[in-house]
Amino acid sequence: MNRRSFDIPAVPLPTHRRLSRARLAGSRVPTVFGMTLIIMMGVITDDRHADADERSKSIETLTSRQTLNALGIDDSQLSFFVDGSDYRSEEEEVLVRILHVFPKIPLDALQRWATNAPAWTQLEGAPQDYRGDIRTISGVVKEFQAIRLSPAMADRWQMKQYYRAWVQLDHDARHVELLVGHVPLAWTQAESANAFSPQHVSAVGMFLKRGSAPRGSNQESAAADKPNDAANGDAFQGAPTVVMAAQRIAWHPTQVDKILGVTAATAELGQHRFDVGLLDDVQDRRELTHADREPFYQLMGMERQLPDDDRLSVREKMNGVHLPSINVAQLLASPDNYRGCRLAYRGVARRALRIVVNDNDIRSRFGIDHYYELEVFVTLDLPIRILTSADDVEGRTLRNFPIVACVRDLPPGMREGEVIREEVTVSGNFLKVYAYPSKFLTDRKPMDPEPMMQSPLLVGGRVELTELVRRDDNDWWGLLLGIAALTAIGLVAMMVWRNSQGDRRFQRNVLDRHRGAQDVAWPQPAQRESSLDQE
């Protein structure tokens, strides 16, 4: 396995070293655009005649309003938002522009701006001064709806629709009318069946305007226009509202919900503020992609936020049946059923590599500057027979199977390197069936492409050394005698083995295919992809 497969490149410019020549050529345009954007963000200021040092500002020194200006959204466009009313159709053009550029803003910049967000009373008192400011919100979504764009706008912005959600804030009487580009897939499916229930959420949003006053007050807006006859948040009538925009809404379910597909595992993740909606874009049997980046690091960062009782010894949890060891064949065959589950396995670590994280946004948001990538071979209760295609009748039977685990730290005394042998117990949240080039599968013709190994990927969690019995100096004589006896027994066993070699070969190649081996369909990925770049 290539250690750089988890070396997630910096944002926003793609720098991944495993990109093919063709992919590099194909990504030349966005790379040039990204460089141009950074230059623009450094040179555009209120004073067009500022000196060279002032024009060389980077995004680290810009405000959110200056960043919007650099991205082509100036104060004249923000002035289209009219305070004291609900979201109106006349504001849609500027909103779509904002949703279009939101993904181009680095996440660490959004976090930094949100940290310095003004109080709600300041926003409401002088909304024109704070339009475009960033803040984090959390609360409960009670209703939402999709708003489809006209064919012309959809073609221009490459966006078919956006969403309007009404969020009741936590610990605050205010409500936010949140306009977002994406909502979890399960929401849209439940909404179409009229089965959506209130959900806990959070978002890093941009303040657009002060909404309508409470119903019945003297400041109440007469009849605000609603794009495409959208609803008006009836559940929140009588409460002051604030209108905000966000790229996405983070979903934190707290209880099992069959209609929304929330399992006990994903509900537990939601309770720890993991965005379960990120799992929508995770694809199995592929290399790591850009869509894996955020859930990967959220799972990694979640480990140190767990309370002490959730960070018990991995072995203690396994012995107490707190952490299951799902059959590997089940993970490979039905990964969707176990996505997000916290699992634990005992095995032999054959590789442990320290991966340095250079991305500024990951370092600042999660405090992660490195992690360790392990390849742990687990002995299977039943062998797995891998079938790589419909024409593959022979298959390949495996009795020891590799599990890839990425953890924050190694235990004291554990070695690291490309070739090690350490008995360990490892835990983590199952993210996906991860495909990566491997010489482990060697049964191929010389001209065939290198086969892709497919292993469960556990992220976060912990690794612990299996306790070994240490001998003192007085035991050495007994140890030497034992070695001599084992050598003699080994010579006899070798003679017996040579006589029975034919029987063993027959059992390995024929009988194992029919006695308890679990067949797993293993189609090779049609397209190789190894980029985790910002798109």
In this structure, the dihedral spanned by the alpha carbons of residues 358, 362, 367 and 373, taken in order and rounded to 10 degrees, is -70
pLDDT band at residue 150 using 50, 70 and 90 as cut-offs: very high
How would you classify the pairing of strands 250-251 and 199-210?
A: antiparallel
Instruction: Kindly report which listed range (35-39, 155-159, 399-403, 526-530) carries the lowest average pLDDT score.
Output: 35-39
Please state, in angstroms and rounded to a whole number, the distance separating the CA atoms of residues 183 and 10: 26
- Which residues lie below 8 Å from residue 273, measured CB to CB, with a gap of 6+? 202, 250, 252, 302, 305
Helix (H, G, I), strand (E, B) or coil at 264: helix
Tens of pLDDT along 14-73?
233 332 323 223 333 343 444 444 444 443 333 433 433 343 346 678 899 999 999 999
Residue 207: name the closest of 146, 147, 123, 115 by CA. Answer: 123
With a cut of 60, say whether residue 474 has pLDDT above it: no
- Two tokens, residue 476: 């050495």
With a cut of 50, say whether residue 336 has pLDDT above it: yes
311 neighbors 471 (Cβ within 8 angstroms): no
Instruction: Kindly report which listed range (16-30, 81-95, 135-149, 150-164) carries the lowest average pLDDT score.
Output: 16-30
Question: Tell me, what's the pLDDT at 275?
Answer: 97
Residue 147: name the closest of 112, 116, 104, 183 by CA. Answer: 183
Question: Tell me, what's the pLDDT at 382?
Answer: 85
Question: Tell me, what's the pLDDT at 514?
Answer: 40
Q: Which residue has the higher pLDDT, 446 or 382?
A: 382
Tens of pLDDT along 208-231?
999 876 544 444 333 333 444 444
Amino acid at 389: S
- Two tokens, residue 422: 């350490």
The helix (run of H) or strand (run of E) holding residue 119 is none
- Which residues lie below 8 Å from residue 271, measured CB to CB, with a gap of 6+? 252, 254
In this structure, the dihedral spanned by the alpha carbons of residues 376, 359, 185 and 114, taken in order and rounded to 10 degrees, is 140
Residue 339: name the closest of 279, 288, 297 by CA. Answer: 279
pLDDT band at residue 178 using 50, 70 and 90 as cut-offs: very high
Tens of pLDDT along 481-533?
667 667 767 776 676 556 555 554 444 444 444 445 666 665 555 444 444 44
Q: Which residue has the higher pLDDT, 490 or 76?
A: 76
Helix (H, G, I), strand (E, B) or coil at 403: strand
Q: Is the peptide bond before 295 cis (omega within 30 degrees of 0)?
A: no
With a cut of 80, say whether residue 397 has pLDDT above it: yes
Question: Tell me, what's the pLDDT at 65?
Answer: 92
Question: Tell me, what's the pLDDT at 155?
Answer: 94
Question: Tell me, what's the pLDDT at 487?
Answer: 75
Tens of pLDDT along 247-290?
999 999 999 999 999 999 999 999 999 999 999 999 999 999 99
- What is the chain's mean pLDDT, rounded? 76
